[in-house]
Structure 1
């Protein structure tokens, strides 16, 4: 689906199915509850003598935008004011995400993270879903440098943990479905391209922490000195 000449109808169908597949395998609800919600609450509260404000979140490589939409809805349900900016450099992904019904507090933009750095943006939290395995080493290091420049409190990149069980379970679980989209084929390719925890630790700077979120998922985390944990 990354190819510029891929079938547009199949690509649109794939974008529509991202929400389903991410709910099934990506674990963002758990990540929100354990990692993001406490920091959103702290960021919104600010200093003891400061007025409450909306916490800010950047979703890099947002694709169809379903993760950003979920975060916006969960935060709203918890009474947490947030402003989420979701960016993707692919004009097809941006066009699809921006075409969906608006969600309060969520803005989509076609952009690279480096553009936001150049424009002087800062966010309380920086996140991404399933982009690490797409990047060449130089691109990975550029993303991490951008994340450090953009994030005040936390940068968290969530990706697949490569393993044979993950590959076999995804292959079996998607076999009856997704025949008219890129979900199954590209998903299996993504698992093959992904890192193990040991490989990712060797690939990133030492200030980044690789955490095994589950048997099938890795979190690559940076917390600026003095930012504090949850």
Structure 2
């Protein structure tokens, strides 16, 4: 899906991945355990950046959960793919999230600052230099909390997606893209070796979190 493809199937893939994310990505737990305490502790509004939003379901969910808790969260979501921008703006009827076709480097260069930076299923798409640049940008925003949530590569995860995504195979890229993503993703040891100074945490099922916290 990184290159040219049928847009209708791409948009169907975004919808299917939103369902999968609700089941396995763990963002509800991360919001309750990591994000909400920082929002409750903030004296003013809190700015959050989502990098590589894809279909935009994660930033929309974070904004909705904060609203439901009566907490102030200003969410910006970026993705360089204009197709992702069109899809996300089309389904976000409430307009609660600011979507931009941009990169983290562009926002950092423009002087933007964020209290939290997150991503979902982005790391395994990046070449080494791109990954290192994203981690440097994430730290450069001055965020108190950075969480890059990705897949933990395993044979069991591959087999589970090969079976579980079969209903999505006909109208979208969800099956083939998901299997490709699992093959490209990291083990806990591999990710730790690639990101010195960051903490790697495991989250059930088959998730790896690359975490950086700054409490200054």
TM over 0.5: yes
* CA-atom RMSD in angstroms: 1.3
Greater shift, 14-23 or 96-105, is seen at: 96-105
The runs of 5 or more residues in structure 1 that have no matched partner are: 46-52
State the match for 2:65 in structure 1.
Answer: 74
**Do residues 26 (structure 1) and 25 (structure 2) align?**
yes
State the match for 1:13 in structure 2.
Answer: 12
1:165-224 per-residue CA deviation (whole Å, 9 max, x = no partner) reads: 1111111111233421011110000000000000001111x2211111224000000112
1:39-69 per-residue CA deviation (whole Å, 9 max, x = no partner) reads: 12223x2xxxxxxx22110000011110000
CA distance in 2, matches of 1:19, 1:136: 25
| Contact 2:168–2:174 under 8 Å retained in 1 | no
Q: Give TM-score scaled by structure 2 length.
A: 0.96
CA distance in 2, matches of 1:158, 1:134: 13
> Which structure has the larger Rg?
1
Count of aligned residue pairs for this structure pair: 216
Q: CA deviation at 1:14?
A: 1.2
The runs of 5 or more residues in structure 2 that have no matched partner are: none
| Contact 1:167–1:188 under 8 Å retained in 2 | yes
| SS across alignment from 2:186 | coil
Runs of 4+ in 1 over 4 A off after TM superposition: none
| SS across alignment from 1:152 | coil
State the match for 1:54 in structure 2.
Answer: 45
- Counterparts in 2 of 1:174-185, with a 5 A limit? 174-185=165-176
| Contact 2:152–2:206 under 8 Å retained in 1 | yes
Q: CA deviation at 1:151?
A: 3.8
